[in-house]
């Protein structure tokens, strides 16, 4: 098992069709003790129970620093260490530049970008004391190609911000054996795209992808396990494209 006895936190992991839950499931199968963090309405406790015994679900809002700190402290109390953080929580909004309000901008950037900073800040002191850790940040192909599928320009900006933040943290914490990497998923069939794309539109998009299909949540989960595991001990500051070849650059 790749993650035997490791402790992993996954934000936004309660949606059973989402990337976060698929990652939680695969990490648990690889021997990790998993903490699923999510908003109360997403019911992280019920999601964690689906993983089996020995995992926990915690209500946490990544836009709230105190909430992130409380969740990290609860994980430490339950499991005694924190090896991996997956910054997965994110929301999108399909609008054009001229339609973005200040409130939209705040909402979208707060979850992906501020949330990535706050949760990372909450676990880094523990990783520092362990002199080991891996943080995986879920960005998006939208950051690289300039959106154009689902999210508005503020979503692209938030996800591009995640790339910059993760790279800078990777540089800062590398000497302490804490690795920080990003994954840029292509279009993955989860609840985030539900009702936003017709079946015809999805088929049209699949035709433009070299691997000829949309991604599955498990495609991203595999990449997260790789970046959390000893298979990637010399990777930090990288951006791992998991997009079926949608963007080859
Ligand atoms: P999803 O909607 O199933 O998952 C997002 C989760 O984040 C939900 O469980 C939601 O409750 C949670 N969340 C929202 N606000 C939160 C907050 N303030 N605090 C804590 N949790 C919060 O969607 P998904 O497709 O699984 O998305 C997961 C991540 O992957 C997101 O960051 C998304 O932007 C990114 N992504 C998705 C795709 C895709 O095509 N599905 C592509 C690229 C990137």
Pairing of strands 239-242, 33-38: unpaired
Report the alpha-carbon distance of residue 120 to residue 48 in Å, rounded.
Answer: 21
In a domain, 1, yes or no: no
Number of domains the chain contains: 1
Task: List active site positions.
Answer: 155
Q: Edge-to-edge strands of the sheet including 178-185?
A: 56-59, 33-38, 7-11, 84-87, 133-138, 178-185, 239-242
Lowest mean pLDDT segment, chosen from 53-67, 112-126, 130-144, 194-208: 194-208
pLDDT in tens, 223-233: 999 999 999 99
Residue 91, domain CATH? 3.40.50.720
Which residues, listed in sequence order, are joined to residue 137 by a DSSP beta bridge? 87, 182
pLDDT tier at 148 (50, 70, 90 boundaries)? Answer: confident
Average pLDDT, the chain: 97
Lowest mean pLDDT segment, chosen from 134-143, 163-172, 192-201: 192-201
pLDDT at 195: 83
In a domain, 89, yes or no: yes
In a domain, 151, yes or no: yes
In a domain, 169, yes or no: yes
Q: Give ipTM to 2 decimals.
A: 0.99
Residues with Cβ within 8 Å of 236's Cβ and at least 6 positions away in sequence, in order, are: 170, 174, 179, 180, 181
In a domain, 249, yes or no: no
Report the alpha-carbon distance of residue 54 to residue 34 in Å, rounded.
Answer: 8
* Domain assignment of residue 132, given as a range: 7-242
In a domain, 248, yes or no: no
In a domain, 218, yes or no: yes
Q: Pocket around ligand 1: residues whose beta carbon is below 6 Å from it?
A: 11-12, 14-15, 18-20, 38-39, 42, 61-63, 88-92, 111-112, 115, 138, 140, 185, 187-188, 190-193
pLDDT in tens, 79-127: 999 999 999 999 999 999 999 999 999 999 999 999 999 999 999 999 9
Give mean pLDDT, residues 64-79.
98
Report the alpha-carbon distance of residue 236 to residue 136 in Å, rounded.
Answer: 10
């Amino acid at each position: 098992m790749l993650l035997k006895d490791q402790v992993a936190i996954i934000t936004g992991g309660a949606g059973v069709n989402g990337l976060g839950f698929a990652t939680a499931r695969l990490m648990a199968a690889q021997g990790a003790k998993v903490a699923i963090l999510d908003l109360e309405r997403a019911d992280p406790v019920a999601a964690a129970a689906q993983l089996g015994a020995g995992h926990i679900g915690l209500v946490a809002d990544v836009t709230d620093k105190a909430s992130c700190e409380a969740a990290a402290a609860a994980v430490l109390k339950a499991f005694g260490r924190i090896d991996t953080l997956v910054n997965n929580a994110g929301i999108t909004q399909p609008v054009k530049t001229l339609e973005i309000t200040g409130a939209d901008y705040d909402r979208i950037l707060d979850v992906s970008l501020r949330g990535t900073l706050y949760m990372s800040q909450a676990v880094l002191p523990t990783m520092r004391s362990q002199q080991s850790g891996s943080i995986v940040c879920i960005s998006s192909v939208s950051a690289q190609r300039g959106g154009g599928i689902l999210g508005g320009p503020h979503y692209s900006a938030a996800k591009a911000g995640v790339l910059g933040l993760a790279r800078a943290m990777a540089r800062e914490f590398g000497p302490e054996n804490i690795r920080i990497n990003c994954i840029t998923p292509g279009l993955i069939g989860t609840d985030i795209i539900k009702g936003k794309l017709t079946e015809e539109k999805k088929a049209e998009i699949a035709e433009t992808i070299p691997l000829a299909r949309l991604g599955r949540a498990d495609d991203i989960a595999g990449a997260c396990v790789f970046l959390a595991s000893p298979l990637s001990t010399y990777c930090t500051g990288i951006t791992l494209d998991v997009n079926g070849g949608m963007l080859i650059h």
